[in-house]
Structure 1
Amino acid sequence: MSEGDSVGESIHGKPYIVATFFTRIGQIYQSWLDKSTPYSAVRWGATLLLTAVYMIRVYILQVDPSLLDEDEGPALPTKQNEEFRPFIRRLPEFKFWHSATKGIVIAMICTFFDAFNVPVFWPILVMYFIMLFCITMKRQIKHMIKYRYLPFTHGKRTYKGKEDTGKPFAS
């Protein structure tokens, strides 16, 4: 077959058109993201509005199975008596906003299809959360084990400073 053959053009031409289309859509999307970067209050306001619309939609559709279940059953522990010591995550505000907004939009789209309305037994969700936590925290946990870091106070060594011995701080 020659390069100018009509069969060859149809086979090799279509993926190029599809790739060009999606590349252009990606460029337009990135352009809108770049333009919205300095307007953080407007972005978060739109995200909160989108969240409210999503919550109203879920309430109207009664997607939440806990609204239908009259049996109390076991619940997750909610003790507040322990010290809260969170891990500090270095996540830029824009990336957090972008991920949150994408999640809300995807969740909203999923409410339009009955295929995504699947009842789930709650212990499966708890195990799924534990698995995701272990997979995502694997590197941090290995680092903590390597350097013997304990994120809680039980079993930590306490060191006495020079102020306890009566000697001055500066030598």
Structure 2
Amino acid sequence: MNSEPPEEANAFWAQKSALEQRYQVILDRVTPLTTERWAFTGAALFFYFVRVYFAQGWYIVTYALGIYLLNLFLAFLQPKFDPSLEAADTAEEGGPMLPTRSDDEFKPFVRRLPEFKAWHSATKAILVAFFCTLFRVFDIPVFWPILLVYFCILFTITMKRQIRHMIKYRYIPFNIGKKSYSKSGYK
């Protein structure tokens, strides 16, 4: 039997819904502020590292945060539709997927993880990791230099593979500067 009266349960769900709506309003307001959002996330990460440095602990939490942020970054760099899988499918069909002539269809780069979702997930992960540093139960003793070396090796191997994939299928996941035009042509 439910010991809680229905009014209190309804009040709880109404309060939860109101909080979710406020949170969504805040997200909607910060969506166009890309630089400010990432500056906040960078500051949160900086304060997290300062906390871990001065507390001399929570290295497992930091390692888990690093792995999660690396996975987010890789998803941000990868196209939504993997060209290697599409190339394998079209090789069986006998036709290329990428445009080979100027009149072929142009397919823009679409990320597997959009920028806003990457920011939102990274910020939440940093805040959760910071919250974990408030409790000693998450401070598992470990020899941190091994974790650091392992993370650096993992990062190097993963990024090397990702860069090879980008070169092989000729895609660049960044727009580096906006093209501006003058009377004489490109600048």
Kindly name which structure, 1 or 2, has the bigger radius of gyration based on alpha carbons: 1
Residue aligning to 1:63: 57
C-alpha separation in 2, matches of 1:60 and 1:120 = 16
CA RMSD across the alignment: 3.0
Residue 53 of structure 1 corresponds to which residue in structure 2?
Answer: 47
- TM-score of the two chains, using structure 2 as the length reference: 0.47
CA 1:47–1:11 in 2, change beyond 3 Å: closer, same or farther?
same
Unpaired runs of 5+ in structure 1?
1-7, 67-85, 127-150, 152-171
Q: Which amino acid aligns with 2:35?
A: A
Which one of 87, 93, 106 corresponds to residue 115 of structure 2? 93
**d(CA) in 2 for partners of 1:64 and 1:27?**
34
Identity %: 38
Segments of 4+ in structure 1 off by > 6 A? none
Instruction: Tell me how far apart the structure 1 counterparts of residues 40 and 115 of structure 2 sit (CA, whole Å).
Output: 15
Q: How does 1:1-150 map to 2 (within 5 A)?
A: 11-63=5-57, 88=79, 90-119=112-141
Q: Counterpart of 2:5 in 1: which secondary structure?
A: helix
Once residues 36 and 78 of structure 2 are traced to their aligned partners in structure 1, the CA distance between those partners, rounded to angstroms, is 29
1:13 maps to amino acid: E
Q: How many residues align?
A: 100
Counterpart amino acid of residue 95 in structure 1: K
Q: Are residues 15 and 120 of structure 1, via their aligned partners in 2, closer, same or farther at CA, if it must alter by over 3 Å?
A: farther
Displacement after TM superposition at 1:27 (Å)? 0.6
TM-aligned CA distance change 1:65 to 1:96, over 3 Å: closer
**Distance across 1 between alignment mates of 2:139 and 2:123:** 21
Distance 1:102 1:115, change over 3 A: same
Q: Distance in 2 between matches of 1:120 and 1:31?
A: 41
**Structure 2 unaligned blocks of 5 or more:** 61-76, 80-110, 151-164, 166-187
Q: 1:37 to 1:65 in 2, by over 3 A?
A: closer
